């Protein structure tokens, strides 16, 4: 059973990462439609701004201890967030409205707080606002995906990428539901996380491979290797749903994948690689990895 501090911390970590993912997805959606689909561009911008408001409130409520965790784990801002945001703005001539330096300053100046009834009421209200945002975003994604599938819309990203968006933010939805019932990370949830993050990371590999400039065979081959490795782990989870020893195997694979994604980002920033997706997407892929590693570390330390 979660106590108030657990509920408070786990809620805010969810908001920092997943609301940021929604904002990043909305940026990608807005950049991949033609101007004759301005309604969808405008809706993506509006949902992205709602996600920013969730992030801003989470930053406001966060205490020093949790802010330090968020900084050290790179689950919200990575060492590449600023450069990838600036590159996206340069390539697409847009203003992302992301205040990375300001958010860093807020995280670095948080103070210790007492988690009392007033604090918890704010947390519960923020969770309710996040649930509404999630439902709005998921409905938006399904609407676009279905219209792309029957040819009523055209976007520069595959319809299946919208499935990926849906699946990632569904993890946010499920975790807020778990927190609402005050249920801690049981073995069931640990294996659920392992399974879903393996699936999400496998799909990041597939999308990067699909978005990759085909002249880079070395990157293509390594992406294929990781896609296959994650697929094999997923099969193991389906056959051994209660085998917690698979967590260690997953953690090793994810750590190696993180090094590979980091190398890809560095090469992208040096103009040595090119992907047909906004550069900021890769920051989302990296934070996806960092969140998984943070959750496993959180569970292991019993915090």
Cβ 133 vs Cβ 112: under 8 Å: no
In the prediction, which pLDDT does 241 show? 67
- In this structure, are residues 107 and 70 in contact, taking their beta carbons and an 8 Å threshold? yes
Q: Considering all CA atoms of the chain, what is the largest pairwise distance in Å, rounded to the nearest integer?
A: 58
Which residues are 275's β-sheet partners? 212
**Domains, the chain, with CATH or none:** 4-301 (1.20.1260.120)
**Which tens digit of pLDDT belongs to each residue from 192-249?**
888 888 999 999 999 999 888 888 999 999 999 999 999 999 998 888 766 767 888 8
Is 278 within 8 Å of 79 (Cβ atoms)?
A: no
pLDDT for the residue numbered 178:
92
- CB-based contacts of 294: which residues, under 8 Å, 6+ apart? 13, 69, 73, 75
C-alpha–C-alpha distance, residues 104 and 10, integer Å? 20
Query: How much is the pLDDT for 223?
Result: 96
C-alpha span between 280 and 30 (Å, rounded): 13
The rounded distance, in Å, linking the Cα atoms of 69 and 276 is 33
In the chain the first and final C-alpha atoms are separated, in Å, by 13
DSSP string, the chain: ---HHHHHHHHHHHIIIIIHHHHHHHHHHHHTB-GGGHHHHHHHHHHHHHHHHHHHHHHHH--HHHHHHHHHHTSS--TTHHHHHHHHHHHHT------HHHHHHHHHT-------HHHHHHHHHHHHHHHHHHHHHHHHHHHHHHHHHTTS--BSS-HHHHHHHHHHHHHHHHHHHHHHTT----HHHHHHHHHHHHHHHHHHHHHHHHHB-TT-HHHHHHHHHHHHHHHHHHHHHHH-TT-TTHHHHHHHHHHHHHHHHHHHHHHHHTTS--BSS-THHHHHHHHHHHHHHHHHHHHHHT-
pLDDT at residue 302, rounded to an integer: 63
What pLDDT does residue 242 have? 67
Which ranges of the chain have pLDDT less than 50?
none
Residues 6 or more apart whose Cβ sits within 8 Å of residue 282:
80, 84, 208, 261, 264, 265, 268, 275
Whole-number Å distance between alpha carbons of 294 and 287: 10
- Structure confidence at residue 146 (pLDDT): 95
- Its pTM stands at 0.90
Phi then psi for residue 135, to 5 deg, are: -60, -40
CA distance 111 to 232: 44
């Amino acid at each position: 059973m979660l106590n108030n501090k657990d509920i408070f911390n786990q809620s805010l970590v969810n908001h920092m990462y997943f609301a940021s993912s929604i904002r990043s997805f909305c940026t990608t959606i807005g950049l991949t439609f033609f101007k004759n689909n301005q309604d969808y561009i405008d809706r993506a911008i509006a949902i992205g701004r709602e996600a920013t408001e969730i992030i801003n409130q989470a930053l406001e409520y966060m205490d020093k201890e949790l802010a330090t965790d968020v900084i050290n784990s790179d689950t919200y801002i990575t060492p590449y967030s600023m450069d990838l945001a600036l590159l996206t703005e340069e390539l697409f001539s847009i203003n992302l409205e992301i205040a990375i330096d300001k958010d860093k300053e807020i995280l670095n100046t948080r103070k210790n707080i007492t988690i009392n009834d007033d604090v918890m009421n704010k947390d519960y209200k923020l969770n309710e606002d996040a649930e509404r945002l999630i439902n709005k975003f998921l409905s938006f994604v399904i609407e676009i995906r279905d219209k792309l599938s029957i040819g009523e819309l055209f976007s520069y990203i595959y319809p299946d990428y919208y499935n990926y968006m849906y699946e990632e933010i569904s993890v946010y939805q499920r975790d807020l539901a778990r927190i609402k019932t005050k249920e801690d990370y049981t073995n069931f949830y640990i294996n659920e996380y392992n399974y879903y993050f393996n699936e999400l990371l496998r799909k990041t590999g597939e999308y990067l491979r699909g978005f990759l400039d085909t002249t880079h065979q070395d990157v293509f081959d390594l992406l294929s290797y990781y896609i296959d490795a994650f697929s094999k782990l997923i099969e193991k989870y389906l056959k051994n749903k209660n085998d917690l020893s698979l967590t260690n195997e997953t953690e090793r694979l994810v750590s190696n994948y993180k090094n590979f994604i980091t190398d890809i980002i560095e090469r992208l920033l040096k103009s040595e690689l090119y992907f047909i997706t906004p550069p900021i997407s890769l920051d989302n892929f990296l934070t996806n990895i960092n969140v998984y590693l943070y959750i496993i570390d959180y569970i292991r330390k019993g915090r």
